[in-house]
Amino acid sequence: MKILVCISSVPDTTSKINFTADKSAFDKTGIQWVINPWDEFALTKAIKLQESQGATVTVINVGDATTEPVIRKSLAIGANDAIRVNVEPKDSFSVAKEIANVAQNGSYDLILCGRESIDYNGGAVPGMVAQLLNQPFVNACVGLDVNGAEATAIREIEGGKETISVKLPAVIAGQKGMVDEKDLIIPNMRGIMSARSKPLVVVEPASSEVKVEGVSYDSVPQRAAVKMVSADNLDELVRLLHEEAKVI
């Protein structure tokens, strides 16, 4: 079984987000980059299938050379090889199109990815990849078993969970619960050393089509100062809620 795992390089959640002076772009100065957390659940699941079923695991990233440390970490976690599409991602469609092109040429049995990236939170790429490949798609997956040419997936729905089966090849978008957090793999020294010799193939983009372009960026407004009201002064609390906050 051949598995393709889609990996995004995203800012660490503790990073301070700033934009350029003209607000035309994200300021990458001083940012620590990590594997998108949702993708890490998908990658860990792929490694488990590698161990239990002898699957080969390839990671793919759409990005420039600055994403290679994150790709190498994926290899250190246990992926067999990696592909980097040498283009800066512009929108969900262009990223999905590049992934679909690689997947089409590689004849993968299963494509795993996170349900969304934690930077733009678009959540559109997995579904677009499935549509471009005309393959079944399961989103918000919190459980996955593969048996031959069929996969059984558990996904979260409003008010509960749903168990469905799909024929492979298929695209599965995972999230927390696809594997236990305790099972996430921290690369050891052996894995880090072996990652240096694993193949990382760089390919040029197949298309330059972009459907969405960012015009400007704005930071979230700072919160207003908090007013403290003593617990026994209900009249003042009601007045503030009515006259200043205007919520009652």
Domain membership flag for residue 180: yes
Domain that residue 68 falls in: 2-221
44 versus 20: which is more confidently predicted?
44
Backbone CA torsion sign across 127, 128, 129, 135: positive
Assess if residue 129 is contained within a domain: yes
Kindly state whether residue 238 falls inside one of the protein's structural domains: no
Q: Give the tens place of pLDDT for each residue, 69-101.
A: 999 999 999 999 999 999 999 899 999 999 999
Q: What's the count of helices (H) and strands (E) in the chain, helices before strands? A: 6, 11
Residue 231 lies in a domain: no
228 assigned to some structural domain: no
> What is the predicted pLDDT for the residue at 227?
84
Residue 204: give its domain's CATH number. Answer: 3.40.50.620
Exposed / middle / buried, residue 50 (Cβ in 10 Å: 0-12, 13-18, 19+): middle
Residue 247 in any domain: the answer is no
Q: What is the pTM of this model?
A: 0.87
Looking at residue 93, its pLDDT comes to 95
**pLDDT higher than 90, residue 202:** yes
In a domain, 244, yes or no: no
Of the chain, the percentage scoring pLDDT greater than 70 comes to 100
The pLDDT of residue 77 = 97
- Express each pLDDT in 138-182 by its tens digit: 999 999 999 999 999 999 998 899 999 999 999 999 999 999 999
Domain contains 102: yes
pLDDT at residue 212, rounded to an integer: 85
Total domains in the chain come to 1
Using DSSP's 3-state secondary structure scheme, residue 93 falls into helix
